[in-house]
Amino acid sequence: MSSHYETLGVAKDATPQEIKSAYRKLARKLHPDVNPSEDAAEQFKLVTRAYEVLSDEKKRANYDATGDENGNGQPGFGGGGFGGFGDIFEQFFGGGQAQGPISRTQPGRDALITITIDLEDAVKGTVYPLEMETAVVCKTCNGSCVREGTSVVTCTICHGAGQVQRPVRSFLGQMMTVETCAACRGYGTTIPDPCLECNGEGRVREHVSKSLNVPAGVDSGTRIQLRGQGEAGPGGGPNGNLFVEVDVRRHKVFERAQNDLHAKMTIPMTAAALGCELNLETFDGEQPLNVASGAQDGDTITLPGLGVPRLRGGKRGDIIVHLQVETPTKLDAAQRDLLEQLAKLRGEEMTSGRVEHSGGMFSRLRDKLNQR
């Protein structure tokens, strides 16, 4: 059995251009439209198969390595016909098979808009008014594209096929190619009297107002899909979908982390030492915060269930308050005197820039070491 190289009459190191030229030369002699003999038809199959393998870099490499007839492990010509010749033929001559007329009724495109809401709206949910420019079905012709009392007519050029055949000359002789009909643009029909409102499009652009229910729990980047509320399609086609992307504004108090809300609260040193009760304004009203005596900088207080709801249901997150203890930086004489008295009462004395705690554990340890 001859190899593909022998079938095309080229060397194993032939270039892609040499392989293509050899195929063209043989195809001129053997194509069934040029040479109708059975022997030529069989030879043409072999030549076409050889070119199909050797013109593909991967198939050729596999064929050279394994001798696999199909080049890529795929079936060859099967029970007859010319297998992959259609693709090869189309590379050289263009054309293709008739596909029939295109429908004027086409689906509309999807639309995407972005809205910006407050954090409170994300926590509670809201109804957001949407204002947008979009394509809607023409009310004058109801999407039919034609003036009232008229209709589309069959194209006299392609006779409703939407495509026409045109003869072209090639190295195989005269061939027929299929092209979209220029008279009807592939629709198979023409509109002698188009609707004046939409100019035969079946749709017009309008300013549309609608309401959007924004569910509680949305976050920046959440997309809400409204099926069938996008652009109307040409020729009265179905609407596409509308996607609304949500952007949540930053809040002056709360910072969101998934379903929890974090807040910072600064309290005086004295309030941290003595303890106190504060009030925090939340999205559920004013809530009390009990600061225990001896609170330290960085301590947190949690208000459970007052955060953001889960988007698909479930319990709400928490509010977490981070305490920031403020140390006074400017003291008048009276204030400084009071703090010094407090330091003495607590046994805290400054020595060489260090605080000494008299009577404390370190003082007792120091005294024992000094006694030795």
Tokens found for residue 295: 């609170």
Residue 243 lies in a domain: yes
pLDDT in tens, 345-372: 877 766 544 444 444 444 444 454 455 4
Output the pLDDT for position 91.
46
194 in the same domain as 126: yes
Residue 331 lies in a domain: no
Rounded to whole angstroms, the Cα distance separating 311 from 219 reads 9
Domain, as residue range, for 346 = 336-371
Residue at which a domain ends, from 248, 267, 294? 248
DSSP class per residue in 144-172: --B-TT---EE-TTTTTSSEEEEEEEETT
Burial class (CB in 10 A: 0-12, 13-18, 19+), 180: middle
Nearest in space to 169 (alpha carbons), one of 181, 160, 177:
177
Residue 169 lies in a domain: yes
CA angle, residues 94, 78, 81, in degrees to nearest 5: 45
Question: Model pTM?
Answer: 0.60
Length of the chain measured in residues: 372
Output the pLDDT for position 131.
92
Residue 198 lies in a domain: yes
362 in the same domain as 290: no
215 in the same domain as 123: yes
Residue 206 lies in a domain: yes
182 in the same domain as 151: yes
Which contiguous run of DSSP H or E holds residue 367? Answer: helix 361-371
Which contiguous run of DSSP H or E holds residue 133? Answer: strand 126-137
Residue 102 lies in a domain: no
241 in the same domain as 316: no
283 in the same domain as 239: no
Residue at which a domain ends, from 224, 248, 272? 248
CATH code, 123: 2.10.230.10
The 8-class DSSP code of residue 319 comes to E
Residue at which a domain ends, from 93, 128, 154? 93
147 in the same domain as 220: yes
Q: What is the dihedral of CA 134, 136, 140, 144, to 10 degrees?
A: 130
CATH code, 305: 2.60.260.20
238 in the same domain as 271: no
The 8-class DSSP code of residue 236 comes to G
Whether 113 contacts 130, CB under 8 Å: yes
3-state secondary structure of 99: coil
Exposure string (b/e) for 6-19, b if CB count within 10 Å is 16 or more?
A: ebbebeeebeeeeb
Residue 103 lies in a domain: no
211 in the same domain as 123: yes
Domain count, the chain: 4
Of all residues in the chain, the percent with pLDDT exceeding 70 is: 81
Residue 101 lies in a domain: no
148 in the same domain as 200: yes
pLDDT in tens, the chain (372 residues): 678 888 889 898 889 888 888 888 887 787 766 677 778 778 888 888 888 888 888 888 888 887 765 544 443 443 334 444 444 444 444 444 446 688 889 999 999 999 999 999 999 999 999 999 999 999 999 999 999 999 999 999 888 888 888 777 665 556 677 888 888 889 999 999 999 999 999 999 999 999 999 999 999 999 999 999 999 999 989 999 999 999 999 999 999 999 999 999 998 888 888 888 888 999 999 999 898 888 888 989 999 999 999 988 778 999 999 999 888 888 888 888 888 787 788 777 665 444 444 444 444 444 544 554
CATH code, 66: 1.10.287.110
116 in the same domain as 85: no
115 in the same domain as 63: no
pLDDT in tens, 41-94: 788 888 888 888 888 888 888 888 877 655 444 434 433 344 444 444 444 444
Q: Give binding residues as ranges.
A: 138, 141, 155, 158, 181, 184, 195, 198
Q: Give binding residues for Zn(2+) as ranges.
A: 138, 141, 155, 158, 181, 184, 195, 198
Output the pLDDT for position 73.
42
